[in-house]
Structure 1
Amino acid sequence: MAGPDFSDELKSLDTTLTSVETVLDLPALRAQVKDLEDQSGAPDLWNDPDEAQKVTSKLAHLQGSLRKVEGYRSRLDDLAVLWELAEGEDDEGTREEAQAELARLQGDIEALEVQTLLNGEYDSREALVTVRAEAGGVDAADFAEMLMRMYLRWAERHDFKVDVLDTSYAEEAGIKSATFRVGAPYAYGTLSVEQGTHRLVRISPFDNQGRRQTSFAGVEVLPQVETDDHIEIPDDDIRVDVFRSSGPGGQGVNTTDSAVRLTHLPTGIVVSCQNERSQIQNRASAMAVLQAKLLERRRQEEQARMDALKGDSSGSWGNQMRSYVLHPYQMVKDLRTEYETGNTQSVLDGDIDGLIEAGIRWRKSQG
């Protein structure tokens, strides 16, 4: 029975990969890569460093996608040959090798399939992520820092560039909030399913009676604003405050008033940046975050109008989206997708691809 079963799985995998290749439109993808390669070879490319960075980053991403899908096709073809060899020579060792490769390839192709679901208006952009402590006092601040570390480790696993723009430390432990940029194509589409309220249940390390504590932290994910988004902010709409950057325990990061806080007067939105060395750099970074928040506000208003026209009264899926239980048992469970794992330490160390992929599939199923 093993042979026919394996062949059926191979055919199913071929169908899935063919579907992915169709969605990615390989001829168009190759043409895009060729065009970006021509742009990256232009002698005046680095006259505009920001534009050059965008071109080279997009080229690297598309080249990676193309190599990945072509590599999977090659592996699938080789696997078919390997299985024929195993069956022809009745070699159990080769059969086991083929079964192991089939399992690896299934996981790889499924992950690639998830990427094809990222086709929202802003999904291809870089991401601005803010993690903030909510209810739970010092435990919530500690949890917020745990979540920030989780996302930074996740980005590190994928070799994604991260810039921490602002960190507000809590007095006893942890952080009140932190904002960072994940500089990778499709970072927004990928991480947007992480938005919402995260809940932690554990024995509090800050309670001398060793009681169980529930605490909460919020995650906000915004798309990076691009030059064609037309987010106009008149100077009169912004109040600018400068202050001295500080680190944990009030330790000075530098001795000048280089940190910048922007208040958007019409909406009351406040953003700050203190991790750059100069006031000019911090102001530019803070302005980018403010523009992203205003872009998201505009998107939500447009969505609300569309929902009103459609009579859609469903609530946001972003609230209370995941539980991390460290006591009395170990489990991380996504409350939307029902995806769960008992390996809490691995998750907190950045192994969250399974949770993210389940979230992307769930979001797509919601239409």
Structure 2
Amino acid sequence: MSGGAGIFVSMRPEITSALNELDATLSTIEKVMDPEEMSDRVRELEAQASDPSLWDDPDHAQGVTSELSAVQSRLRKITDLRQRVADLPVMYELGEDEEGGEEMADAELAELREEIEALEVKTMLSGEYDQREAVINIRSGAGGVDAADWAEMLMRMYVRWAEKNGHKVDIYDISYAEEAGIKSATFVVHGDYMYGQLSVEQGAHRLVRISPFDNQGRRQTSFAEVEVLPVVEKVDSIDIPDNEVRVDVYRSSGPGGQSVNTTDSAVRLTHIPTGIVVTCQNEKSQIQNKASAMRVLQAKLLEKKRQEERAEMDALGAGGNASWGNQMRSYVLHPYQMVKDLRNDFEVNDPSKVLGGEIDGFLEAGIRWRMSQQQKSGA
């Protein structure tokens, strides 16, 4: 299935060079992803899925069908890219005799480069929890009403990114601020590798702009904190005894204290040993809200356990610096326009696009940066 560098030799030198580079990158990706092994795994899972007794254990059946769908999708992607790379020389050859043909080939080359680079980044997601779905918590920080408004802008940015990429979002809880914006929000982004991709967003996000809430039109700096956790699965050993959790129920409310539910269906869980508090009010059922809140609490406790284990390893000198620095990105709307990642210097001069959900460049730069840090530390 894989190609080999140096196979495109009959076109313009710059096109030949670009195609050889793409082919080499894709060949490296194929070595990591191993399409032949994926094909074998698909056959194994298809055999399991065709067994009539599979659904005797619904949880196991769900795991089999989910994995089958995911592996098939990845295999189709790598196969499709290899075929498109192989077809490009023909496109250029035919394009010489057709009006607009070379432009179409150039467009396909640019699109292929973008897709292959994105897939290359995904091959870097090999952490223990990278394949998981992601729980995102956003909290307003310093900056008063501007910070609350900023927290809501960040939430909208992530939701729009998810929607553009076809990922479902479930909002578990939103705590609205009195004047504008939100104090905090918790939501889940569904899909493979959501935690691996979005975990690089963790940290403090800073906004600099002319405050719309300041009648003197002064510039305001405000902060919001983003926390990204992997969704907990049944294989995770996170046991929470009932006597360690206090459960409070209350009436759900919307912006400005407006009631959105006439029953006490919202749930607040307090983990007594750690003081961690989780709320959920997105469902009308108290039972459903409690189950959702428990999943978030488990995710927070799992992350706490991981941080403690990393701290122990660091103390023994077995790991690098696990902290990437709290302030990770700056969004400047005035006096100039720029969004910049403070860890890797990746920047975009159109904040409106970034806030509209176009953050793939930042995610890829963050993942590459993280990989380089891990390699330096020997992790």
Question: Normalising to structure 1: TM-score of the pair?
Answer: 0.93
Does 1:206 find its partner at 2:213? yes
Equivalent pair of 1:57/1:184 in contact (CA under 8 Å):
no
RMSD value, Cα: 2.2
**One-letter identity of the residue aligned with 1:158:** N
Match of 2:283 in 1: 276
Distance in 2, matches of 1:353 and 1:295, equals 27
Match of residue 180, structure 1, among 187, 196, 204: 187
User: Which runs of 5 or more residues in structure 1 are unaligned?
Assistant: none
Distance in 1, matches of 2:54 and 2:267, equals 31
Match of 1:194 in 2: 201
Does 1:246 find its partner at 2:253? yes
Shift of 1:295: 0.5
Does 1:108 find its partner at 2:108? no
Shift of 1:64: 2.3
For 1:263, what is the secondary structure of its paired residue? strand
**One-letter identity of the residue aligned with 2:331:** Y
Equivalent pair of 2:310/2:322 in contact (CA under 8 Å):
no
Shift of 1:57: 4.1
**One-letter identity of the residue aligned with 2:12:** G
Match of 2:293 in 1: 286
Shift of 1:314: 3.6
Match of residue 23, structure 1, among 32, 47, 52: 32
Using a 3 Å threshold, how does the CA distance of structure 1 residues 148 and 227 change in structure 2: closer, same or farther? same
**One-letter identity of the residue aligned with 1:77:** A
Using a 3 Å threshold, how does the CA distance of structure 1 residues 324 and 348 change in structure 2: closer, same or farther? same
For 1:146, what is the secondary structure of its paired residue? helix
Equivalent pair of 1:145/1:175 in contact (CA under 8 Å):
yes
Match of 2:70 in 1: 61
Match of 1:99 in 2: 106
Equivalent pair of 2:281/2:289 in contact (CA under 8 Å):
yes
Match of 1:306 in 2: 313
**One-letter identity of the residue aligned with 2:39:** R
User: Which runs of 5 or more residues in structure 2 are unaligned?
Assistant: 1-9, 375-379
Match of 1:342 in 2: 349
Distance in 2, matches of 1:353 and 1:56, equals 28
Match of 1:34 in 2: 43
CA deviations on 1:309-348 (whole Å, 9 max, x unpaired) are 1176746114100011111111111111111111111111
Match of 2:235 in 1: 228
Distance in 2, matches of 1:109 and 1:39, equals 32
Shift of 1:167: 0.7
Question: Normalising to structure 2: TM-score of the pair?
Answer: 0.90
Match of 2:88 in 1: 79
Equivalent pair of 1:141/1:174 in contact (CA under 8 Å):
yes
Residue correspondences, number: 365
CA deviations on 1:138-158 (whole Å, 9 max, x unpaired) are 000000000000000000011
CA deviations on 1:208-263 (whole Å, 9 max, x unpaired) are 11111000000000001110111011111111111111111111121111111111
Match of 1:128 in 2: 135
Distance in 1, matches of 2:44 and 2:318, equals 44
Distance in 2, matches of 1:110 and 1:311, equals 32
Shift of 1:47: 6.9
For 1:345, what is the secondary structure of its paired residue? helix
Distance in 2, matches of 1:3 and 1:341, equals 32
Identity fraction in percent:
65
Using a 3 Å threshold, how does the CA distance of structure 1 residues 254 and 42 change in structure 2: closer, same or farther? farther
For 2:19, what is the secondary structure of its paired residue? helix
**One-letter identity of the residue aligned with 2:359:** I
**One-letter identity of the residue aligned with 1:33:** V
